[in-house]
Structure 1
Amino acid sequence: MKKIAIRKTSVFMLLFLLLVVSALTGCKSSKEVEKKSSGKDDGSLTLSYWVSNNRPDTLKDYNEMGAYKKLQEVTDVKVEFQHPASGEADQQFNLMMASGELPDVIERIWPSVPGGPEKYIKDKKIVRLNDYIDQHAPNLKKILEENPEWKKMISTDDGSIYSFPFLRQDEVNLTFFGPVLRKDWLDKLGLETPETIDEWHKVLTAFKEQDPNGNGEADEIPLLIDKDALTSNAFVGAFGITNGFYQVDSKVKYGPIQPEYKEFLTLMNKWYEEGLIDKEYVATDDNLKDAKVTNDQLGALMGYTGSSIMRYMQLKEGENPDFKLTGAQYPVFKKGEVPAFNLGENNYNGVGAAITTSNKNIEETVKWMDYKYGEEGFKLFNFGIEGESYEMIDGYPTYTEIVTDNPDGKSMSEGLAMYVPAGWSGPFIQAKEYAEQYTSMPEQQEAIEAWKKGSNERIMPMVSPTQEESSEYASIMNDIGTYKSEMINKFIMGEEPLSKFDDFVKTINSMGIDKATEIQQAALERYNKR
């Protein structure tokens, strides 16, 4: 009997141990599932991250970039980047939002989304970040407290902060685009860089008639504008208006229906008829533009400090050492006048990284994003890896030759892209030291000084229509934009006489421009009250 009792006790003990082990195993499995579903694995965090910004062709995705490689080492956060194909970003974004299958983070230009970013907060697609920034993002919080105007820019009319923003630190970061001319042609013909419309006419006429490329043929193209005449804002601005909405004493106006716009089109048509504007401007894409510059045909265009002045001068360095470009101020009518407009960029251009409501680790993601706004993250995303892509010289973060004079023949923009996104955008603050070094050529510096001139008092800030206004506004402006572009080209090329300008204005009025202007006016008033 005693032996039987002992056996029964042993069996019961064995069953009890099996139950305990089973229970413990079950608990462990539950935790593993929880970790997997939350994106965590062995204490690390994995984020899905969708980026609509253009990136260089040299990068397959951001994980190839030195800054993000180092960030993973420092934070132990892994990122699965998703990059939509060129031209498909908006379509993918809209499908993503409609499906509800969202990544953890979405980086894009947010103020332009249908309904504005506040709509996606109210629809519970992206997270309102104000409280999270207060509690878990000390670096960004400090920056916004020190720069209240930046906070105003990155907030909605309701006061919501919807993304970790791309911010540009200094005026030098905001000045990178304007009129560009062949300086060697100006010097050869004994001409000064033009400031007034009359001086531009004189220069362009000389480019056409005096064979500045010296090949004995009349093959020079004095000026290239783009097919929507948008880059000719440099000239339309001389009339005190823009190709879109602008403001005068806080009253919103639409440029193309103003009497001054007819004067602008008359000027462009006159120059076109005189052969001063490229006859093929409507069909000229970036590749054809490059060919016209490098074949010594093009005298003037609208361009950038990096992809135009620096790139073209580097491309021509060995072939034509005399090739030189310069920047001109935005034109005026009277010598000494301050241009009404220049590029007109704000410290915030709308790019930011929003956290979606699908993210199961919001606080951890906020902390990870905030790293970029601290001292180390600031250096990492502007300059890359110390000792590799930059060195500290007398307290100044200085790019090394792997960026500035790449041994594999990469351009500086390609060299930068191996390490940092400072050459385009992202959720960080773009350093003035980046801009200073990226525009260190004397010709670039000269251009920046010229392009900086301009009051920009009439520029519209980055306003946002409400969710209710957005659909109607988009519908109106999509139709007007298509019609406007078509008619502008016809007026410039003489396919439509300028005597029909009043009919053009009537048509735009009939398409609802008053309502669109009213929406912009309300948005401006809300912005001013932020």
Structure 2
Amino acid sequence: MNMHRSRWQVRAVLAGLAAALVLAGCTADPGTDESGKPIVTVQVITDSRAIPMKDMPWTKDLAAACECTINWQETPASSWSTQKQASLAAGDVADVTIGGYGGGDWGDYGSLFLDLAPELTSMPNLSMVFEKVSFARVVSTWDGKIYGGPGVMLGTMADTGSHMFINKQWLDKLGLDVPTTWDELETVLEAFKTGDPNGNGEADEIPLDFNSPGTGGWGGFQPNILLGGRGISPSGGMGMYADQGTVKSYLTDPAYKEFIQYMRDLWSKGLISKEAFTHDWSQWTATAKGDGKTARMGVSWMWTPSDLFGSKLADQYITIPQLKAEAGQSEKTKWMFGGDGMNYQSNKISIAADVRNKEAALRLVDSMYTPDIGVQMRYGSFGVGVKKNSDLNYTVLDPADSSKNLSDWQFINSLGDRAPSWVTQPGVTLTIPKEFAEVRAADAVYDREIANMDLNTDLIYSGVSFTADEGRQYSLNNTGITQAAMSKFAQWVTKGGIEDEWDAYVADLERNKLAEQIKLQQQAYDRFVKVMADNKVDLNIQLTDPDLVWKDNPDGSATMSRPK
């Protein structure tokens, strides 16, 4: 007897029996749990600090709201890129995904995701978001479809992620005024280097430091922000900016050359940290915090003083406006604006096109845009991260664990700013602690610079996305452009040579298709602006958010509300 053949025959018979049982309705529906509730599988990309989703009490409220059982699949953000590519290539995405997919995926893989536009009639909460703040719909629209739900952070975010800080105690000790121009900053930095402003008798002051630029393009908290002193508001890391609706690149602009020459001057005088181009994030921030007693850093950029210098040194620092490139210049100063992307975050959540229990999945997503669930997803469960004072009235709580700061506590117990929600929607009153309110004061310093910009024409919006073909070509071009630009920036600042090599550098970028890159960005930009026009969006109004009422409280906390 052929045993190998026999085993396969047995397997075939068993498989046939199983199929027959399924057809006869004799097996449980794999899309429901033991009690008959629909199962919705939710893939979530998690912060490394987060506890398991099932241990966050708010997830039970979400399951009750969607009348379903949630099967959580959790992937650390550090591992998601690899898993994402494998899932897309296999055509296998979870029923619902939080924070996993975006505009760069829709071109090639849009067929894997459900277009939410036709489903909005059964999603009253998400529909309300799109009705009340139309820009939320704009950032969620790709080629006429809505594959992802937004996160609306109005009132809880800022207009820029990077603020410029200077040690005011050092200025006062040395009898110096706050600088207003590049030259004045250089004079201040020289005094910081030689005047022992921290008073410890050691020459350990670091006049200027910043987040180290990489070869992949400009990032946050880096000195290219100074280009705003010449009226250029850099958008993103690719050297692009918009000026009255026209996309340009500053990488070959004379203002960029002038900026690099200025940075070279600072470096040659020892006014920039020797590790500025080599340290990693943790080294940079650790240097800024020091021992928590004696400040060592004079000037840098970050979200808030507490985030960079720590709570013990933060009070020594103030936020300063954009510096003019030179006194008496004609150009109006601008800042690096990011309020569109931070306040209206796109593609926070998506649903698979072949979702098993569509109605339950739609209820689940729509429930995230209710006030009770939204505030818990953002800050933590009731009694853990948030106190519910009354209907639609909430207070964000300080950490129950005194060893954790507020930001860590938030990300341990919630999705934080990964949450698809609108916390400050009409009728809601929200009180946030001092640590979260701090950024508002830092942001206000740049009101003048932002007023010098038309937010409808002078931004490369973060929600701008490419078609599949555009995206591939843009990525190919970008490799050569950014590597050439960023390596030259580091070289010219630390070693010099820009005067002799500038023309060859410009020619190199042109060979790497910089003109085509600008054209691709302009095409995508124009499509996005058209969607803005179709939805009657005026960002000069929506991003200043005139309906939001903000109140500073005596203890440093703040309360915000929005009338119904």
Confirm or deny a common fold (TM above 0.5).
yes
Per the alignment, do residues 499 and 327 of structure 1 end up closer, same or farther by CA in structure 2, a change over 3 Å counting? same
Report Cα offsets for 1:164-217 as digits up to 9, x if no partner: 111222375444431122233233223344343233223222211211111212
CA contact (8 A) 1:221 1:298 kept: yes
- What percent of counterpart residues are identical? 23
Aligned equivalents of 1:485, 1:61: Cα separation in 2: 40
CA contact (8 A) 1:59 1:65 kept: no
Q: Corresponding residue for 1:10?
A: none
Aligned equivalents of 2:381, 2:119: Cα separation in 1: 29
The answer to whether structure 1 residue 380 and structure 2 residue 376 are counterparts is yes
The answer to whether structure 1 residue 247 and structure 2 residue 242 are counterparts is yes
Per the alignment, do residues 498 and 67 of structure 1 end up closer, same or farther by CA in structure 2, a change over 3 Å counting? farther
1:420 is matched by which residue type in structure 2? S
Per the alignment, do residues 303 and 435 of structure 1 end up closer, same or farther by CA in structure 2, a change over 3 Å counting? farther
CA contact (8 A) 1:327 1:444 kept: no
Of 195, 202, 225, 2:187 maps to: 202
Deviation at 1:379, TM superposition (A): 3.2
1:331 is matched by which residue type in structure 2? L
Q: CA RMSD for the aligned pairs?
A: 3.1
Q: Corresponding residue for 1:237?
A: 228
2:106 is matched by which residue type in structure 1? P
Deviation at 1:351, TM superposition (A): 4.1
Q: Corresponding residue for 2:337?
A: 343
Q: How many residues align structurally?
A: 485
Aligned equivalents of 1:496, 1:107: Cα separation in 2: 48
Deviation at 1:353, TM superposition (A): 1.1
Of 59, 73, 82, 2:74 maps to: 82
Aligned equivalents of 1:163, 1:110: Cα separation in 2: 8
Q: Secondary structure at the match of 2:271?
A: coil
Which segment drifts farther, 147-156 or 330-339?
A: 330-339
Per the alignment, do residues 66 and 273 of structure 1 end up closer, same or farther by CA in structure 2, a change over 3 Å counting? farther
- TM-score, with normalisation over the residues of structure 1? 0.82
CA contact (8 A) 1:186 1:192 kept: yes
Per the alignment, do residues 464 and 288 of structure 1 end up closer, same or farther by CA in structure 2, a change over 3 Å counting? same
Report Cα offsets for 1:86-133 as digits up to 9, x if no partner: 1x43332122111122222233365552xx524422xx2111110112
Aligned equivalents of 2:393, 2:429: Cα separation in 1: 11
Q: Which contiguous aligned blocks of 4+ residues in structure 1 show a shift greater than 4 angstroms?
A: 25-29, 109-112, 334-338, 392-396, 432-436, 438-445
Structure 2 residue ranges without an equivalent (≥5): 1-19, 532-564
Report Cα offsets for 1:292-312 as digits up to 9, x if no partner: 12223221221112xx52573
Aligned equivalents of 2:206, 2:339: Cα separation in 1: 29
Per the alignment, do residues 389 and 527 of structure 1 end up closer, same or farther by CA in structure 2, a change over 3 Å counting? closer
Q: Corresponding residue for 2:96?
A: 105
Aligned equivalents of 1:438, 1:237: Cα separation in 2: 32
Q: Corresponding residue for 1:299?
A: 298
Deviation at 1:493, TM superposition (A): 1.0
Per the alignment, do residues 238 and 79 of structure 1 end up closer, same or farther by CA in structure 2, a change over 3 Å counting? farther
- TM-score, with normalisation over the residues of structure 2? 0.78
Q: Corresponding residue for 2:87?
A: 96
Aligned equivalents of 1:525, 1:514: Cα separation in 2: 16
Per the alignment, do residues 385 and 441 of structure 1 end up closer, same or farther by CA in structure 2, a change over 3 Å counting? closer
Report Cα offsets for 1:57-84 as digits up to 9, x if no partner: 3324433434324323544431312214
Per the alignment, do residues 441 and 136 of structure 1 end up closer, same or farther by CA in structure 2, a change over 3 Å counting? closer
CA contact (8 A) 1:254 1:517 kept: yes
Aligned equivalents of 1:27, 1:463: Cα separation in 2: 47
Per the alignment, do residues 385 and 92 of structure 1 end up closer, same or farther by CA in structure 2, a change over 3 Å counting? closer
1:154 is matched by which residue type in structure 2? S
- 1:209-288 to 2 correspondence within 5 Å? 209-228=194-213, 230=219, 231-241=222-232, 242=234, 244-288=239-283
Q: Corresponding residue for 1:473?
A: 474
CA contact (8 A) 1:173 1:435 kept: no
Instruction: State which structure, 1 or 2, has the greater radius of gyration over its C-alpha atoms.
Output: 1
Structure 1 residue ranges without an equivalent (≥5): 1-24
Q: Secondary structure at the match of 1:341?
A: coil
